[in-house]
Amino acid sequence: MIKFINTLLTVAGGVSVALALFWLLNLFSERLPGPWEGRLKPFLYLLPAVAVIGVFLIYPALRTIQYSFADATSSKYVGFKNYTALLKQHDFQITLVNTLLWIAIAPALVVALGLGVAVLADRLGARGEKTAKSIIFLPMAISGVAAAAIWRFMYEVRPEGETQIGLQNAVWTALGGKPVAWLQVDTVKLNTFLLMIILIWGQVGFSMVLLSAAIKSVPEDTLEAARIDGASERQTFFRVVVPQIWGTVVTVFITVVITVMKIFDIVYVMTGGNFNTNVIAVRFINELITNGNAGRAAAIVVMLMIAVVPIMIYQVRHFRAEEAMR
């Protein structure tokens, strides 16, 4: 009970400090002489937001770059040693390959499945569509950690001869196989694919919702025109619908790519990066917390940042083009 009241007080305290801040800023701006009020007010309104972005995003990002050229405790510069040491490690090379595999496979599958479900569900009645979509959308609310708990149970293995309590092994042994410790099988990267299934399970709902909304906003008359011209159902979809929703397809794809690049909780909880399933974000935590090597941790993040730059440029261009159309 005391704990509960403490929580309430903590929450109320944090929020009221933030509110008081704006009240003070406004009070200050209204005391300013004449034209200065109008000139400075926008900046005062922006100040808290820009300040937190500066202090918690931009400044740390710059420091991270600096740390990546320094040693484990950030006390002495070592040049490119963190980068070369990492890139030479066999372990880290596997980590990079895994991350690239994730990027190459998971987003495309998420988009394809989301599109498929959106198209199929569109053909059901209103009620059926809503139910089907809600079920597929539901994992969006489930955290990576809880999803990992759910799927660890799916992939659970018991020694041969005992009853299998994990669904996958139960089906597998019923079909005549021997129980398999799925998460430890790295032949053809099977375990990495099994981890991707968890992400796909979680993200298809997101892609479905966006793509479904885009499909529904395709003007009916363009469909009708295609049909009158004798286009088949498939032709109509690929030649009329897909081009019109392409923008959304790209948006969803990029969003999932970014999610996948920094995928952390699923891998961390499922395998801890063992059995050749490691990815960059988990390796980053290993270096930072387990090995206490701030230099290498920073170098990993800088590599991640470099990988994000092209997406950033695309995003800004896209935004500019859209603003110009308004």
Within residues 264-323, the interface with another protein by CB under 8 A covers 264-265, 268-269, 281, 284-285, 288-289, 294, 297-298, 301, 304-305, 308, 311-312, 315-316, 318-320, 322
Give the integer Cα–Cα distance in Å for 13 and 8.
8
DSSP assignment of 78-132 equals -TTHHHHHHHH-HHHHHHHHHHHHHHHHHHHHHHHHHHHHHHHHHTS-HHHHHHH
3-state SS, residue 316: helix
- Report the residue from 34, 127, 141, 187 that binds another protein according to the rule CB under 8 A: 141
Specify the stretch interacting with another protein by CB under 8 A; choose among 56-64, 85-93, 99-107, 181-189. 56-64
Specify the stretch interacting with another protein by CB under 8 A; choose among 77-85, 90-98, 118-126, 179-187. 118-126
Please state, as a whole number, how many other Cβ atoms lie within 10 Å of the Cβ of residue 186: 16
Which residue, 56 or 90, is less far from another protein as judged by CB? 56
Query: Contact, 308 vs 294, CB < 8 A?
Result: no
- Report the residue from 248, 277, 278, 286 that binds another protein according to the rule CB under 8 A: 248
Which residue, 192 or 203, is less far from another protein as judged by CB? 203
- Asked whether position 122 contacts another protein by CB under 8 A, the answer is yes
- Report the residue from 115, 136, 157, 260 that binds another protein according to the rule CB under 8 A: 136
- Asked whether position 160 contacts another protein by CB under 8 A, the answer is no
Give the integer Cα–Cα distance in Å for 308 and 315.
11
Closest contact distance (angstroms) between CB of 231 and another protein is 11
Amino acid at 110: V
Closest contact distance (angstroms) between CB of 187 and another protein is 24
Please state, as a whole number, how many other Cβ atoms lie within 10 Å of the Cβ of residue 79: 9
Residues 6 or more apart whose CB falls under 8 angstroms from that of 148 comprise 198, 265, 266, 268, 269, 270
Q: Which of residues 184-243 bind another protein (CB under 8 A)?
A: 201, 204, 206, 209-210, 213-214, 217, 219-228, 233
DSSP 8-state symbol, 32: S
Query: Which residue's entry shows tokens 């955290």?
Result: 143
Closest contact distance (angstroms) between CB of 71 and another protein is 13
Give the integer Cα–Cα distance in Å for 61 and 301.
9
Specify the stretch interacting with another protein by CB under 8 A; choose among 75-83, 95-103, 141-149, 182-190. 141-149
Which residue, 80 or 246, is less far from another protein as judged by CB? 246
Which residue, 90 or 126, is less far from another protein as judged by CB? 126
Sign of CA dihedral 239, 243, 246, 248: negative
Dihedral pair phi/psi, residue 218, rounded to 5°: -70, 125
Query: Contact, 140 vs 206, CB < 8 A?
Result: yes
- Asked whether position 20 contacts another protein by CB under 8 A, the answer is no
Give the integer Cα–Cα distance in Å for 271 and 148.
10
Closest contact distance (angstroms) between CB of 252 and another protein is 7
Specify the stretch interacting with another protein by CB under 8 A; choose among 19-27, 77-85, 104-112, 182-190. 19-27
| 77-116 footprint of another protein as x/- string (CB under 8 A) | ----------------------------------------
CA torsion, ordered 45, 46, 52, 55, to nearest 10 deg? -120
- Report the residue from 258, 274, 275, 276 that binds another protein according to the rule CB under 8 A: 258
- Report the residue from 103, 132, 181, 190 that binds another protein according to the rule CB under 8 A: 132
